[in-house]
A and B are shown apart, each in its own frame.
Chain A
């Protein structure tokens, strides 16, 4: 397929999706909304974790930070400004976490990100209880499902473009080198910590924005809702199954899995997390050479 034709096709598909709220029911739009949210999360997750192989379990820490920022600020600031502030907070949080853990071995990073969501959740709870004396918050923003969906679609498009650009840039090459052998990467002149930090901050900022954009869907939020670790877990599975080394991989993983999870949570609301866990254990087993090899296979295939 010529690249022009491919581009045309992508634009057509994109237009079909962008126009979807006009011909779909509210329920359909709601599904698309959730789907584009997870597609963005998985793509953003893979932006950092794909090439570097640092498995981040902190997705929900950033997502929740974004959602909470909107809840706190939406009454005192215009909406676009709130989104900017949320992005800035997510970016700063990622900088602190990255600076303190990315210089260390990968396993420390995993452990730290694993606990980060809980840390942020407890800190936010403490702040709300002691400083502002509230816990739950209402979000009153004049945004309907389709408005949120369009914002997410725009963010997803932006994320894919960024991911594509990085893949073709010297930074993209550097990140692959870092994933292969950090020491060699450093010896050819790459500032390894800086490259990792940059990507982690970028990925975290996008994830924070997803949380911020989706927040009005809830109307009422509290820390235990927006810092639910299942979200980190789902994002991880989607990106892994779709292929974290490919541009379209995480999105391709996100769409069917989102529908599956949606169906599971509707039909087995009480046993959702058990099924999810079992499914995930099975997935690790199905990958014959382990999950790490999956990073390589797909990257090889994409070259």
Chain B
């Protein structure tokens, strides 16, 4: 099967620090893959390079035949890559509906007017914010802001969705709702790259996992096996003797 996203030799330095070093991996269409690793291991940097938030120093990111590594975020978005942010980032002076509408307006089909409004309502309903489009973003609870951010990402009609700890900070019942939403997306054929610390979600959603530590991939393969590997456990728990 031809890969939808193919990353080869990806590298990024911040001053003297090598944040991402020789990272290669690929995603097939419709896969949900976990990108794991302790804090500071370079996961978010990889995500930032795919979405164009920062430029890679070296390497290629080929998405459906197009090399993204020299493109600006808005070009990448139009090609069908959407993302959420590690800390929820809303557009606070826009209403909830406008936060989603903006993605349709500048998405692949450049939708505007009544058709877009109907679709916004659909997306809001999908994430569980039915009928709340007129509210101020500031009045939403944390989980509802996360829902809105997902709706905004989905309104770009992406084929690849990058979720940066989107499930973090949710309580158990919210987490279940979140997992179900992602699963539903997978059912619709969206490829998902999931940066996540919550193992329960990773086990439930990801067929495959990639584990990073100190900027490098230290393990990858089937989730159940990868999560048992001693080097993965060590990377998470620290390799002190203690």
Contact = CB atoms under 8 A, between A and B. Distances in A.
Nearest to B113: A170
B103 A189 contact: yes
A170 B112 CA distance: 7
B159 interface: no
B98 A173 contact: yes
Classify the secondary structure of A's interface with B.
helix
A189 B155 CA distance: 11
Contact of B51 (A185, A187, A190, A300): A187
B152 A188 contact: yes
Contacts of A180: 90-94
Given A187-B82, A189-B77, A191-B74, A176 B106 contact: no
A268 to B, nearest CB: 39
A254 interface: no
A152 B150 CA distance: 47
Contacts of A191: 72, 74
Given A170-B112, A174-B106, A190 B91 contact: no
Interface in A170-219: 170, 173-174, 176-177, 179-181, 183-192
Nearest to B107: A189
B103 A299 contact: no
A267 interface: no
A176 B112 contact: no
Nearest to A188: B103
Contacts of B78: 189
Interface string B199-228: 000000000000000000000000000000
A296 B92 CA distance: 9
A173 B101 contact: yes
Nearest to B77: A189
Residue of B52, B74, B83, B92 most packed against chain A (CB within 10 A):
B74
Contacts of A176: 91, 93-94, 98
Interface string A226-255: 000000000000000000000000000000
A176 B105 CA distance: 13
B127 interface: no
B51 A177 contact: no
A289 interface: no
Given A176-B94, A180-B91, A188 B51 contact: no
A191 B71 CA distance: 12
Given A170-B106, A174-B105, A174-B106, A187 B91 contact: no
Nearest to B92: A180
A296 B93 contact: yes
A270 interface: no
Nearest to A179: B93
Contacts of A185: 91, 102
B73 interface: yes
A184 B156 CA distance: 12
Given A186-B74, A187-B82, A181 B95 contact: no
A130 interface: no
B126 interface: no
A2 interface: no
B74 A189 contact: yes
Residue of A176, A184, A299 most packed against chain B (CB within 10 A):
A184
B106 A189 contact: yes
Given A174-B105, A188-B156, A190-B74, 8 more contacts: A173-B101, A180-B92, A187-B74, A189-B77, A190-B102, A191-B74, A296-B92, A300-B136
Interface of A: 170, 173-174, 176-177, 179-181, 183-192, 296, 299-300, 303
20 contacts: A170-B106, A173-B105, A174-B105, A177-B102, A179-B93, A181-B90, A184-B89, A186-B53, A186-B72, A186-B77, A187-B52, A187-B77, A187-B83, A188-B82, A188-B107, A188-B156, A189-B77, A190-B74, A190-B102, A300-B136
